[in-house]
Structure 1
């Protein structure tokens, strides 16, 4: 069984996700108590993809979210650097591309919007990845990031960090094809920046009009931004 370290070596992260690809969607639903569906719905609303637009769904995994975004009439492509995850979504009828988030195989300004759900914290260099996303989006194009965050209610935040994160690997032993990978998941969640800190990283990467709002009491946050026109 494979798991990545918090240095987020790309090869180790890819191998880890290859190892969890089998049953990944089911595991997500179990471990989030079904909230993953609600978070995807909010991401879809905020993205607000329109017919004729081109949307890059980065770290798309098995392309569940890509299919949902495409229901708007936009042309949506799923990109991920785990071949195992892409194979896991082989039956989903959207284009799929194996891609490194730090070196995307797309021309400048190719997309109207880019979105990443629960994948940003797995990139080796968060700011560099956000800059690369900006490169492939047209001026005036949109960014939507759905990612774990910091609960806003103090007592719940303390329980979350001290206890709930420790439960994830235990649950994973029962439902995941690679339970040791969820030790990394818990560690990456515990060390991830809070809402404001991530917003500052997004802004440093060259995005404008950065804003965020909380879902499920701040367990998850949606960040959105716009690429400058000049």
Structure 2
């Protein structure tokens, strides 16, 4: 059996995202040239949600992916966003409270760990994780938890950074990701170290096929991979049997 793929220690990730929480949304937009909104929309499509569904987003951060799911389930549905970093959730809560309109779906934000979800089995119509599974200590355990809480037939969707497939574009991407991105982070956030972690985390992260295999070992079926924007991000999706 393959050895479990592990991420950074829990305490390190909590401290890192607590520090960047106030500027996280701005930096996401700047560093991705605004494309992260498009990526989340495409990934949310693969969750196959319909009005009235109940959806879960783990590693929700400030709740952008949860908001995307809300647009699909509508006011008659519900979305729960889970994260173990309280400052990120606080930013998300303030952001959601500023949204206009009373007759709408508003995410329910919960402080909890993706590896130990506080929900019963078969609770949700679908589950998503966006740009978060790289930061989980035990990737397979997190996917197994998602498979546990999603109803049979429901989808589990993972949107994550990836290494471009083409050699030339991969080289150019590496220059931006390792050389430019941390300095943009320093300019906006004030600390280069916080965003130097991003390329380090991607270097440790499983390649597409290995991540798909991890999802299968976690109990998901019909796992597929969709590349977006020349392969700088990938969407993995699987079905709960």
**Common fold, TM-score beyond 0.5?**
yes
Contact conserved, 1:58 with 1:78, CA < 8 A, in 2? yes
Return 5+ residue gaps in structure 1 as ranges: 1-5
* Aligned mates of 1:122, 1:14 — CA distance in 2: 10
Report the counterpart of residue 225 of structure 2 in structure 1.
212
Q: How far does the alpha carbon of each residue in 1:83-142 deviate from its partner, in whole angstroms, 9 at most, with x for none?
A: 000000113132110011111010111111110000011000101111111111111111
1:131 paired with 2:134, answer no
TM-score by structure 1 length?
0.92
Report the counterpart of residue 3 of structure 2 in structure 1.
none
> Residue 197 of structure 1: CA displacement?
1.5
Greater mean alpha carbon deviation, residues 43-52 or residues 14-23:
43-52
Secondary structure class of the residue paired with 1:115? strand
1:83 paired with 2:100, answer no
* Aligned mates of 2:212, 2:57 — CA distance in 1: 20
Contact conserved, 1:121 with 1:188, CA < 8 A, in 2? yes
* Aligned mates of 1:101, 1:145 — CA distance in 2: 13
Return 5+ residue gaps in structure 2 as ranges: 1-5, 97-105
Report the counterpart of residue 54 of structure 1 in structure 2.
54
Report the counterpart of residue 176 of structure 1 in structure 2.
189
1:141 paired with 2:144, answer no
Greater mean alpha carbon deviation, residues 195-204 or residues 113-122:
195-204
> Residue 176 of structure 1: CA displacement?
2.1
Report the counterpart of residue 24 of structure 2 in structure 1.
24
* Aligned mates of 2:207, 2:70 — CA distance in 1: 30
Contact conserved, 1:59 with 1:78, CA < 8 A, in 2? yes
Report the counterpart of residue 100 of structure 2 in structure 1.
none
> Residue 7 of structure 1: CA displacement?
5.2
Report the counterpart of residue 200 of structure 2 in structure 1.
187
Report the counterpart of residue 39 of structure 2 in structure 1.
39
* Aligned mates of 1:178, 1:87 — CA distance in 2: 21
TM-score by structure 2 length?
0.88
* Aligned mates of 1:209, 1:7 — CA distance in 2: 25
Contact conserved, 1:22 with 1:177, CA < 8 A, in 2? no
Secondary structure class of the residue paired with 1:156? helix
> Residue 226 of structure 1: CA displacement?
0.2
> Residue 49 of structure 1: CA displacement?
1.5
* Aligned mates of 1:176, 1:150 — CA distance in 2: 25
* Aligned mates of 1:151, 1:142 — CA distance in 2: 25
* Aligned mates of 1:177, 1:26 — CA distance in 2: 13
